[in-house]
Amino acid sequence: MSKIRVVHYINQFFAGVGGEEKAHIEPELRTELPPISTQLQGQLGEEFEIVATVVCGDSYFNENLEEAQATLLEMIKGLEPQLFIAGPAFNAGRYGVAAGTITKLIKEELNIPAVTAMYIENPGADMYKKDVYIIETSDSAAGMRKALPKLAKFAAKLGRGEEILSPAEEGYIPRGLRVNYFHADRGSKRAVDMLIKKIKGEEFETEYPMPDFDRVEPNAAVKDLSKVKIALVTSGGIVPKGNPDRIESSSASKYGEYSIAEFEDLTEVTHETAHGGYDPVYANLDADRVLPVDVLRDLVKEGVVGELHDKFYTTVGNGTAVASAKSFAAEIGQKLVADGVDAVILTST
C-alpha cells in the first residue's frame, strides 16, 4: 500500500538557515529533511511520508507575497502531495501569516487537506482561522514537544479523510463556524440549565460565545488646539508614490513611517494608496482626501492648530488581523509620545 505523500512548510529559522539576518531567503525545496520535519515524520507514522520540505524566509514571503506564493505553489504542486502541513509558527507573527497564507493557498489551489499550527494570538491565526484548520500551540518553540504530536495527530486524521470533531475535541482554534446537530434536550431547557448554573456560580459553557473586543476609553478632549502638536495616522494605505516599503493591499504585516516636512499637500505625483479594499481612483488623484495634509497646513497657518507633526504613519486596514493592528498601534504610539505629539487624527476610508 502506497504511503500518503506529505509536504512540510517551514521558515528559515526552523530550517537551520539562520534568524532575522536570513529572513530574506527565497523559496527553496529540500528533499533531505530538516530536523523538525524528521521529527514530524516520526509523529505521523509509517502510513505517511514527508517527501520534501519547502522553506522560505519570513521577510521574503511577506514582502514579495505574489511572487512567493506563485513560486511555492509550483514547487509544492510538482511534488504531488496528498497532505500539506505548515509550521508550527507559535507566536512568530510573520511566520504565522506566511503559514496561514500558504496553507489556504494549497488547500484551495490543489484541493488537498492542509493544516497549520500557531499560538492563538499570532496575527496569522486571526487572519486565517476561518479558512483553514489551525492547531493551537503555546507562544514559543519551548512548547514544540507538545505541539508536534498534536499537529501530527490532527494532520493524520485529516489526511485519512476522517470526521473532524469540535475545536475542543481536536485542539484547533475555533473557526467561528456553526454546524447543525441534534441534541437530546431542546434549546429552551439548555438555556434554563445554563442560567441556573450561572446563578449558582457554577461553571457552564455557552453554545454561542460572543467575540471579545477591547474597549478603549477615550482621553479627555483637547481644550486648545492652537497649543498642540497634531499627527496624522491612517489605515487608508496612503504611501509615497511607488509604495517603497511594499505595504500589502490586504492583511498588512507592516506599517509605514514617512516624512511630510516638505509637503504642503499631497498630489498624484508624490503619493498614492496601497489599499485594496476600496476604489483607489480618487485617493490616487489626491491623497489629501484620505490623509488631509493640505487642510492641516491651512489650520496651522490660521492659528487654529499649533503644529503638524512632520511624519505620518500608515497601514492598510483591509483584512489586517486585530493582533497586528494592536502591535502597530503600540509601536506608533510610543514613537508619537517620544516626538512630543499631543493629539492624533486617525483617518480610515
pLDDT digits (tens, 9 = 90+) for 145-192: 999 999 999 999 999 999 998 888 889 998 877 777 788 899 899 999
pLDDT at 288: 96
Please give the single-letter amino acid code of residue 146: K
The DSSP bridge pattern shows strands 133-137 and 229-234 to be unpaired
pLDDT at 182: 80
**Can you list the domains of the chain with their CATH numbers?**
4-170 (3.40.50), 225-347 (no CATH)
Better pLDDT: 65 or 7 = 7
Q: Give mean pLDDT, residues 27-32.
A: 94
CA angle 281, 284, 289 (to 5 degrees): 95
Q: Give mean pLDDT, residues 30-55.
A: 94
Answer yes or no: are the C-beta atoms of 266 and 287 closer than 8 Å: yes
Angle, in degrees to the nearest 10, between helices 93-110 and 322-338: 150
pLDDT at 349: 79
Q: Quickly state the pLDDT bin for 11 (edges 50, 70, 90).
A: very high
Q: Quickly state the pLDDT bin for 80 (edges 50, 70, 90).
A: very high
Better pLDDT: 205 or 155 = 155
What is the rounded distance in angstroms from the CA atom of residue 236 to the CA atom of residue 59?
A: 23
pLDDT at 126: 85
pLDDT at 1: 66
Instruction: Read off the pLDDT of residues 122-146 as tens digits, 9 standing for 90 and up.
Output: 888 988 999 999 999 998 889 999 9
What is the rounded distance in angstroms from the CA atom of residue 330 to the CA atom of residue 334?
A: 6
* 298-303: Cβ within 8 A, 24+ apart: 299/225, 303/226
How high is the mean pLDDT of the chain?
91
- DSSP assignment of 179-210, as one string? -----SS-HHHHHHHHHHHHHHT-----SSPP
Q: Kindly state the percentage of the chain with pLDDT values over 90.
A: 71
Q: Which of 216, 193, 213 is nearest to 204 (CA)?
A: 193
pLDDT at 305: 95
Q: Is the pLDDT of residue 205 over 90?
A: no
Q: For the chain, what is the largest distance between any 2 Cα atoms, rounded to a whole number of angstroms?
A: 81
Q: Is the pLDDT of residue 94 over 80?
A: yes
What cell numbers appear for 328 in the block?
502597530
